[in-house]
Structure 1
Amino acid sequence: MKRRITYIQHPDAPFDAQQAALTSNSLTIHNLEAAREDRLSFDLDDLPNELRNVLQQSQDLRLRWATERPFDAIEPFASRVSPGLHVQYTPLDPTQSSEALCSLLRTAFEADESGLNGVNCTTPEETFITPPPQAAHAGAAASLQYHTELPSLKSFVDYIEQVFCDWLKDRSNECSGTAKSLLAADTVDLDYDSSSNTLVLSGLWSTAPEGGWSQEIKTPSSKSDKVEFGLLGADRGISADEIKIGGLLAVVGEDKKLKPTMFSFPSRHHALPQSAKYSVSFAQPTGLHPTMSITIPHSSLHRPSAPDDTTCSLHTYLILPSSVFGDQYQLGTTDAIFLQSHNLAGLRAHSGETDLEAPDWAVNRWGSTWLFELATPAENEFTTERSDWTATVPLHLRYLKPSESGYRPAHVPWPVVFWACSAEDREVGMGMNPFDRTNLGYDKLFGPRTFFYQLHPETDRLVETVDIPVFHLKEGEGYFQTRNIELGTTIVISLGFFWILWRLLRVAWSSGVGVNTTHKTDARHKKE
C-alpha cells in the first residue's frame, strides 16, 4: 500500500516551523490550517476477494462522491461534481453479465433506515446510462454512467471497517480511523483501471477542523508500504494555464528532515475568485413543468484569465433523477427566439432517460445528463449596472405513485457551472499534474486540451427539493382506497370494452340485413 498525505495552505494562512516535526519513525503536525488530500493506492493482492473479483471484471471503474454541503474548491483541488454518488464503469468483457458490480455497490452503499438514499441497481446494462457520442473521443470504450443521491458515506465507512479493515488485520486500527475520517470529507474518489491493476482511494477536506489539523503519521509496519507527506502552498504559475507549488516534502521513515521543493505544471481545473458565484432555484409553484433557474451575477460573467489562444464559453452540466427529465426536442432546438428567451446558447450533449410519456415506475435507468452552453451578455452590456444574469431550463416531471399527502419529493442536485476554454491548437501536458482529476462526466464531452474554470455555488445545501403533485390517496378512509380504485378502473375498462363490442355487433348486423334486402330486390327486377 502506498499513501500520500498532502496539505495545501492558503498563502495567508499562518505557519510555524514547530507545527511539523519529522523523526526517524513518525511525522507529527499540530494545529495546521490547510486543505487536506489523503490518497491510498492498493494492489489487487491487498484487496478483499469480493472487491478484487469485481475489479478483475472491469476495464475501468471510477466512483466520484461529493457532499451536499457547500465547500471551497481551491487549487490544485478546484474540480467539482454535483452532489451524490457518480459511477463510471467499462466492463472488461461486454458480453458477460456485470451483476456482481451492482451487488457490491448495493452492499457498500446500503440504503438508510427509511429505505432511501442507497444504490438502486440491478445490472449496469439495465440501470446505467450510455454516455453521449461526444464522449467517444476520450477512449476506445466509453464508460457507462450512474448517479444516485447519497447525503452520507456512513454505509460506505461501515463497509470499509467490516470488510476491508478486517482483511488488513495488522493495520485494522489505522484503517478504521482513516475510514471514519471520510465522514467529514467533501469529496471521495475511487479509481481503478486494468492497465495498472491498482485501486486508488482519495479523500479531500477543503477546510481544517476547528483548531486545525493535528495528526501523527507513523512509519509503515510493512516494508512494502510507503507514506509520502507534503506541506505545500499553491499559487499562479508563469503561464496562465499553470499552477505553481512550493513547500516541504518527506517520505516518513526514510527521510531525516523535510525537504524544500518548488515545481509547476499545467492544470486542467482552475478556481475562479470566490466572488464568482451562482445560485439555482425553481420557479414556484412548480406544477408538473418546473423551470430551473441558474442565476449568475454580472461580475462572474467575464472571460476567465485563461491563455490568450484559447476559446472560452460558459457551460452548465445537469444531473437529473428519473422523476425529472428534459424534452430533447424542445431543448435541442436551434430556434433563436427560444434560446434567447432562456439565455441559452444551445444543448451540447445529453444522455439517459428521455421518454416523454413513461411514468417513473416504468423507467429502469437512473435518470439523465444534460450539457448546456449558456449565453452571456454582449461586451457593451458590462458597462452598465444590471441585475443578475439568469439562464432557465424548462423541465418536466414524471407521474409518480399516489401518496397520502398528495405530493412526492424529487431531489435535484445542483448543476456545476464552469467556463470551458479550449486550446486545441497546441500541446498541453496536463498529465504532469500530480493532483489531476478526470472522469467527472462533463470533462469527456470536451477535447483533451480543455481548461475548466469553476464558479462557486452560493447556498446552504447543494440539492433542490421539488414537490411533485400526485394523486391524493388516504389509505383506509372513504371510497378512494387503492383496492377500490383498482376495482373501479377494472369495471370501467370492462364496461367500455363491452360497449364497443356491442356497437360493432350492431353495425355488423345492420350491414348484413341491408345487403340481403338489396340482393332480393335485384333478383325481383331481373325476373320482371
Structure 2
Amino acid sequence: MRQRTTFFHHNDDGVEPADLKITSDSLSGPDLVAIREDKITLDLQELPGELRELLARSSELHLRWESPRRRDATELWPSRVTPGLHVFYTPRSDDKAETGHMCRTLRNTFGVMDCQTPKDSFTKLPKSEFKHSAAYHYYHPLSDLKHFGLYAGQYACGPSDSACAKKFASLDSATSFDFSYDASVDTVKASIMWPRGKQPLSLTAVPGHRLEVGIMTPDAPPYVGPDELGVAGLLVVLGEHQKPNPTLFAFPARHKASRVKFASRFLSPAGLHPSLQLKISSAKPPINDESCSMYAHLTLPRTIFGDRYQLQDDLFLASKNLTALRYMSEPVDLEAPDYVMKLWGSSILLELKPPQPTTDQPWTAEVPLHLRYLAPTPGGYQTISIPYPALFWACEAEQGIKFTNSPFDRPHVGYDSLFSAETLFWHIDPQPERTNLLTNDINVPVLNTEQATWVNAGTTLVVMLGFGWILWKLVWVAQRSGLSSKTPNELLAKKQQ
C-alpha cells in the first residue's frame, strides 16, 4: 500500500517548517486550515474477497461520489460530478454484465438497494464512438458515505482498534470519494477528500508501507504554461526525509477552476413539465479562444427525464438560450411510470448559448424536463430531489499536452468521455442562493392512498351506472322498433316473406 496525503491551503494559512515534528513513521504539527485529500494505491491482495471477485470480472471500474453539500472551489481539485454515486463499468466479457454480482457488491458496500444487474439497471455508454469511455454507467442519489465507512472499517480495523474505527466513521463528513481499477495496471487507486476547515496535522505510517505528505499552496513558477497549474509547499516522505523539503512545480491540468458561478432552480409552478433554470454569473469565456463552448451535464434519476425530440428543435432551443443537445443516454422511455422501471435514469449533455457579445452580466438558460407518474402515497404528494448539473467551459488544449502527467488529475467523471482527450475543462462553481445543498426539490402530486378506497368505490359506481345506462338504451331502442314484441319464429317468417 502507498498513501499520499495532501493539505491544500491558502497562502496565509501555511505552517512553518520548524513547527513540524518528523520521525521515521510519523509527522505532527499545529492544526492547519486546508482541504485534505488522502490517496491510496492498493494491490488486489489487500482488498476484501468480495471486491477482488468483482474486479476479476471487470476490465475497468470507476466509482465517483460527490456530497450534496456545497464545497469551496479549489484550483487543485476543481472537477465535479453531480451529487451522488456514479459507477462507470466495463466487464471483461459482455455476458458478465448479466449477472448480479456488481449490484450485490454495491448493495453491501454503499447500501444501494435498487440495482439488479448492469444489463437491467445501467445505461450503456457509446463505447464505439468514445474510445476512452467505460461501457456502462449507473447513478444512485447517495447522500453520504456512512454505510461505506462501516463496511470498510470491518475489513481495515481490528475489533479493539477504536482509533481506526473513528477514522472510517469520519467519512460521513467527506466531500468526495473516488475508486479506480484498470485491468491493464492491476492496481486500485482510491481517494477521499474533506472540505476546507481545521485539519489535525498528525499522521502515522502503516508499518511497511510508504506515506508521502504534501502541504501545498497555489503558486506560479516562472515557466508555467497557459494549460498548467503551479503549486508550492513542503513535501515529506516518512522513513526517507528527516525534515520537510521545499518544492515548487507545475503540471498540465485538464480541469481548471473558472471564476464564474451558477445556481439552479425549478421555475414555479413546476407542474408535470418543470423547467430547470440555470442562472449563470457571466457569459465571458475563461480564455480568448473561439473553440470554447459552455455545457451543462445533467444526471436525471428515473423520476424525471428529458425529451430527445423536444430538444432537437432549433427554434425552441434558441428561446431557452440552448444551442444543441449533444448527448442523451439510451433508452429513455417517454411513457413508463417510475415504479415499473429498472433503469436508473438518464444523463444529458447540452451546449448552452451565452448572449452575444459576451459580457460579465448574469444570464439564464432553461432546460425543459418531464416528470414520470409516481407510486401512490399517503397524503397525495411525493418530494423528489434532482441533483445540480455540472456546468463547465470546454476548450481545445494546445497540441502535444499530456494531461495524464498531472498527479491530481481526476478522469472518468462521465462527461469527459464525451469529448476528445485533448479537451481542457474550466469548471463553473455551483453556488445555491438559499441553501447549502446542491439539489432541487419538486413536490409531485400522486394518488392519495388514504382516499383510494373512495376512488375505487366511486369508479365502480360510475362504471355500473354507465353499463346500466347503455343497457337501458338498448332496451329502449328495441322497444321503439317493435322488435321486443315479436318472437324469433315471427321474425324469421317475416324475413322469408
TM (norm. structure 1) is: 0.83
Match of 2:312 among 309, 322, 332: 332
- Whether the 8 Å CA contact 1:73–1:79 is kept in 2: the answer is no
The answer to whether structure 1 residue 122 and structure 2 residue 149 are counterparts is no
Q: 1:520, CA displacement in angstroms?
A: 7.2
Match of 2:389 among 410, 415, 437: 415
Number of aligned residue pairs: give it.
475
Closer, same or farther: CA 38–489 of 1 in aligned 2, 3 Å: farther
Instruction: Give 3-state SS (helix, strand or coil) of 1:206's partner.
Output: strand
Match of 1:261 among 223, 228, 247: 247
Instruction: Give 3-state SS (helix, strand or coil) of 1:488's partner.
Output: helix
1:226-245 matches, within 5 Å, as 226-236=210-220, 238-245=224-231
Match of 2:287 among 287, 305, 308: 305
Q: 1:119, CA displacement in angstroms?
A: 3.8
Match of 2:195 among 184, 198, 206: 206
Query: Deviations 1:96-122 (Å, cap 9, x if unpaired)?
Result: 333111001111222xxxxxxx44101
Q: 1:3, CA displacement in angstroms?
A: 0.8
Quote the Cα distance in structure 2 between the aligned partners of 1:119 and 1:41.
28
Instruction: Give 3-state SS (helix, strand or coil) of 1:156's partner.
Output: helix
Corresponding position of 2:460: 488
The answer to whether structure 1 residue 318 and structure 2 residue 304 are counterparts is no
Query: Deviations 1:481-521 (Å, cap 9, x if unpaired)?
Result: 6xx58x839977x969x99xx99xx9xxxxxxxxx99x979
Quote the Cα distance in structure 2 between the aligned partners of 1:259 and 1:344.
50
**Which amino acid is the alignment partner of residue 125 of structure 1?**
K
Q: 1:91, CA displacement in angstroms?
A: 0.7
Corresponding position of 1:196: 185
Corresponding position of 2:57: 57
Instruction: Give 3-state SS (helix, strand or coil) of 1:30's partner.
Output: coil
Corresponding position of 1:218: 204
- Whether the 8 Å CA contact 1:229–1:250 is kept in 2: the answer is yes
Match of 1:165 among 156, 159, 164: 156
- Whether the 8 Å CA contact 2:32–2:201 is kept in 1: the answer is no
1:23-422 matches, within 5 Å, as 23-96=23-96, 97-110=98-111, 118-131=112-125, 133=126, 136-139=129-132, 142-162=134-154, 164-166=155-157, 169=158, 175-208=164-197, 212-221=198-207, 223=208, 225-236=209-220, 238-273=224-259, 276-297=260-281, 300-305=282-287, 308=289, 311-333=291-313, 335=314, 337-379=315-357, 382=359, 388-422=362-396
Query: Deviations 1:253-306 (Å, cap 9, x if unpaired)?
Result: 222221222221110100123xx2111011111111100000112xx2211037
Query: Deviations 1:391-426 (Å, cap 9, x if unpaired)?
Result: 001111111122222211111000011101123x71
Q: 1:43, CA displacement in angstroms?
A: 0.8
Q: 1:213, CA displacement in angstroms?
A: 1.7
Closer, same or farther: CA 354–321 of 1 in aligned 2, 3 Å: same
- Whether the 8 Å CA contact 1:135–1:142 is kept in 2: the answer is no
Quote the Cα distance in structure 2 between the aligned partners of 1:19 and 1:171.
32
**Which amino acid is the alignment partner of residue 13 of structure 1?**
D
Quote the Cα distance in structure 1 between the aligned partners of 2:139 and 2:108.
16
Quote the Cα distance in structure 1 between the aligned partners of 2:234 and 2:295.
37
Instruction: Give 3-state SS (helix, strand or coil) of 1:247's partner.
Output: strand
Quote the Cα distance in structure 2 between the aligned partners of 1:102 and 1:318.
23
Quote the Cα distance in structure 2 between the aligned partners of 1:135 and 1:465.
36
**Which amino acid is the alignment partner of residue 64 of structure 2?**
R
Q: 1:180, CA displacement in angstroms?
A: 2.1
- Whether the 8 Å CA contact 2:145–2:174 is kept in 1: the answer is no
Closer, same or farther: CA 128–478 of 1 in aligned 2, 3 Å: closer
Corresponding position of 1:446: 419
Quote the Cα distance in structure 2 between the aligned partners of 1:121 and 1:404.
26
- Whether the 8 Å CA contact 2:278–2:364 is kept in 1: the answer is yes
Instruction: Give 3-state SS (helix, strand or coil) of 1:191's partner.
Output: strand
Closer, same or farther: CA 54–134 of 1 in aligned 2, 3 Å: closer
1:8-27 matches, within 5 Å, as 8-27=8-27
Instruction: Give 3-state SS (helix, strand or coil) of 1:452's partner.
Output: strand
Corresponding position of 2:484: none
Q: 1:362, CA displacement in angstroms?
A: 2.0
Instruction: Give 3-state SS (helix, strand or coil) of 2:71's partner.
Output: coil
**Which amino acid is the alignment partner of residue 320 of structure 1?**
L
Quote the Cα distance in structure 2 between the aligned partners of 1:286 and 1:412.
13
**Which amino acid is the alignment partner of residue 422 of structure 1?**
E
Query: Deviations 1:231-269 (Å, cap 9, x if unpaired)?
Result: 112234621110012222121122222122222111010
Corresponding position of 1:524: none
Closer, same or farther: CA 165–103 of 1 in aligned 2, 3 Å: same
Corresponding position of 1:511: none
Closer, same or farther: CA 465–356 of 1 in aligned 2, 3 Å: same
Structure 1 regions of 5+ residues with no counterpart? 111-117, 507-515, 522-528
Closer, same or farther: CA 11–252 of 1 in aligned 2, 3 Å: same
Instruction: Give 3-state SS (helix, strand or coil) of 2:292's partner.
Output: strand
Instruction: Give 3-state SS (helix, strand or coil) of 1:278's partner.
Output: strand
Q: 1:75, CA displacement in angstroms?
A: 1.7
Structure 2 regions of 5+ residues with no counterpart? 479-491
Match of 1:468 among 433, 444, 447: 444
Closer, same or farther: CA 135–184 of 1 in aligned 2, 3 Å: farther
Quote the Cα distance in structure 2 between the aligned partners of 1:489 and 1:350.
45
Closer, same or farther: CA 253–406 of 1 in aligned 2, 3 Å: same
**Which amino acid is the alignment partner of residue 99 of structure 2?**
S
Instruction: Give 3-state SS (helix, strand or coil) of 2:219's partner.
Output: strand
Quote the Cα distance in structure 2 between the aligned partners of 1:172 and 1:73.
35
Instruction: Give 3-state SS (helix, strand or coil) of 2:119's partner.
Output: helix
Task: Single out whichever of 27-36 and 172-181 deviates more from structure 2.
Answer: 172-181
Closer, same or farther: CA 144–263 of 1 in aligned 2, 3 Å: same
- Whether the 8 Å CA contact 2:307–2:334 is kept in 1: the answer is yes
Match of 1:430 among 403, 406, 410: 403
Closer, same or farther: CA 489–50 of 1 in aligned 2, 3 Å: farther
